[in-house]
Structure 1
Amino acid sequence: MINNDFKLWVEFPPGRDLAEKLEEMGLDANDLATRMGYTPKAVNDILQGNCRITPEVAVMLEMITQISAGYWLRSQIAYDEYVAREKIKASLSDQSLWRKSFPEEVNVREWVRQTKDDEKSLMPLLKFFAVASPKAWDGYYKDAKLKVAFRISLADVKDPYATSAWIRRGEILADRDPMEKQEQIPVRKRLKAALPEIIAFAAANKVRPKSKKRITYWTPEAEVVDDCMTGLQELCRKIGIRVLFVQNFKCAPIHGMYRWYKDVPLIQLHDRFEKRAAMWFTFFHELAHVLYHGKKGICLQNIEITHNYPEKEDEANAFAQKCMVEAGFEL
């Protein structure tokens, strides 16, 4: 794996190293210009960092200084990266309110990798969302460009910041454990065949074990998954459906979500339901979307969002109620 946090950049242009080498060799800028066939001004621009070292120049310097062309090119790239980072940091310096819009729990739970040097930086949060700027985040999540099975907007959601963090956390967890791409019709057939087994599993897991203490929103540990959750994940994975449990936020108390993510049907649930019955109803509701409503849709439960097809929500609720009755839950 590549260590993406390894810093190659330096704070000065390679011309500084070149100037030191010339002094060591007893040469000046005019001497170097003559040896390269360049004008003194062009060499001075290189020494001052006003002109980049190109591959052609790097090879020339190798012949004159006996220092490899690769060194000069790597030094130039490292300095270019430093300049680019400083430019981006400056452009983000007035975006602190955007960072403060996200729930503090995002950092407490360590979803965002942040060091002491990053306390005032937006970089860790931007990396979490895999976007380059707050403006890009707006375009992806709020301006109807969020790519799920189709494009939706979180602009009308009460707290789009917390909601987007919950959705993105699910994507990150899914990417850590890849699944084979699925076709819609085969998944539906396997789901229909396995539905009695899933309902029987729900019947056997109607109550949370007393030893399992419900954990608060502020608990910093990773998502807590008990044996029931693990068993459900395994059952669904055999069918070709991914089930994830991701802690939500008080400001965005989402219970569940259905979508297709990277050609795999995904059911994402809150991981800390107070009552097991609420978890099962939400799960069966989302399962109905997989069974009946195909790939072009997304459903967020227990949150204010406009659904284009309310009849599909009614159908999912009816399916969930039927499964709950068959599993022996009292409605």
Structure 2
Amino acid sequence: MNGNKIELWHVPSPGSELAEKLEEMGLDANDLAARMGYTPKAVNDILQGNSRITPDVAIMLEVITEIPADYWLRRQMSHDEFLSRERVKASLSDQPLWRKSFPEELGVRDWVRRGKNEADDKSGLSLLKFFAVASPQAWDSYYKDARLKVAFRISLADVKDPYAMSAWIRRGEILSDQDPMEKLGQPAVRKNLKAALPEIIAFAAANKVRPKSKKRITYWTPEAEVVDDCMTGLQALCRKIGIRVLFVQNIKSSPVHGMYRWYKDVPLIQLHDRFEKRATMWFTFFHELAHVLYHGKKGICLQNIEITHNYPEKEDEANAFAQKCMVDAGFKV
């Protein structure tokens, strides 16, 4: 038992329990067939698990065995779930390269949660749960083929390591879902941002250098994302505007600097948490902030990563905005 969830290792068909009940009642398959008005073959199919217990059959069994119909239906549903889960695991076992393509950091950092059922972990089912997709083919469609245009106007097919990149993007989604924000809408966010921009620049000017006391974490740090006072202060400042800022541990094989997108109607700026120089962090942040201020909602921009459907003019505009903000904050550009 894991909380309120039972980890299913093996769930027999309800037919095996029915056979035990018949033996207890002193009946055989022929007796049950006669009482149900079924053929002996139809009853044997139920007893052997080759035929499902339908609501009609469950009511018949309630009348004959005095065991409620909903019990038989629940047992059938549990068995059906077990069989479906095993089919998914079997399909994943035929695609070992897909499972092995994802970076080790996912397990080391516990991004992909390990359950008590090791078979789920080994099969790749835990990976599907992490990405919230039903199959490796669905992962390809979502992250590489860019078929879901509503969510992405981008394909990760040409990225050096699309598996690592997709994991970093997905981690941001999970962290966002854990901390819901008010949806202000694009016009309100832009208005708030324009009004708060001097305050943000002043905050950057006051936080030019990373504190020496803060130990720089490595790619293999298993703990949750580590942030300092500057990072948390920036998050709080942007949250008042209506912008979510996340610092998400990077993955060595896909060293993206930052990302801009709208996620569930909230603008999201996602940065990695290992900038060696504070100036690089601020430039990346202001670059992504320009996308919020000037560019649309239907899209995703990744900095330091070459991607398809990237628009150079938008990147140039974002770089120019970032340079101006850096100069205003007193950084040497």
Deviations 1:71-122 (A, max 9, x none): 1001111111111111121111121111111111111111001244445211
Q: Is the 8 A contact 1:9 1:79 kept in 2?
A: no
Aligned match of 1:91 = 91
Q: How does 1:60-209 map to 2 (within 5 A)?
A: 60-115=60-115, 116-147=118-149, 150-209=152-211
C-alpha spacing 1:136/1:90, structure 2 compared with 1 (3 Å): same
Deviations 1:119-161 (A, max 9, x none): 5211011110111111111111111225565432100111111
TM-score, length-scaled by structure 1: 0.96
Q: Is the 8 A contact 2:164 2:254 kept in 1?
A: yes
Aligned match of 2:279 = 277
Question: What residue ranges of structure 2 are gaps of 5+ in the alignment?
Answer: none
Aligned match of 1:226 = 228
Distance 1:118 1:171 in 2: 22
C-alpha spacing 1:73/1:34, structure 2 compared with 1 (3 Å): same
- Runs ≥4 in structure 1, deviation > 4 angstroms? 2-5, 146-150
Q: Match for 2:267 among 261, 265, 288?
A: 265
Deviations 1:41-98 (A, max 9, x none): 1111111111100111111111111111111001111111111111121111121111
> Which stretch of structure 1 is more off in the superposition, 192-201 or 181-190?
181-190
Aligned-pair identity (%) = 82
Aligned match of 1:237 = 239
Deviations 1:297-318 (A, max 9, x none): 3210111224542111111101
Q: Match for 1:312 among 308, 314, 318?
A: 314
Q: Is the 8 A contact 2:141 2:147 kept in 1?
A: yes
Distance 1:27 1:308 in 2: 72
Q: Is the 8 A contact 1:148 1:259 kept in 2?
A: no
Q: How does 1:31-46 map to 2 (within 5 A)?
A: 31-46=31-46
C-alpha spacing 1:257/1:84, structure 2 compared with 1 (3 Å): same
C-alpha spacing 1:208/1:142, structure 2 compared with 1 (3 Å): same
What do you get for the CA RMSD once the two structures are aligned? 1.6
Aligned residues: 330
Distance 1:122 1:15 in 2: 30
Distance 1:180 1:111 in 2: 26
Distance 2:231 2:200 in 1: 12
Q: Is the 8 A contact 2:155 2:307 kept in 1?
A: no
| Residue type of the alignment partner of 1:52 | R
Distance 1:170 1:231 in 2: 19
Q: Is the 8 A contact 2:154 2:308 kept in 1?
A: no
Aligned match of 1:286 = 288
SS in structure 2 of the partner of residue 136 of structure 1: helix
TM-score, length-scaled by structure 2: 0.95
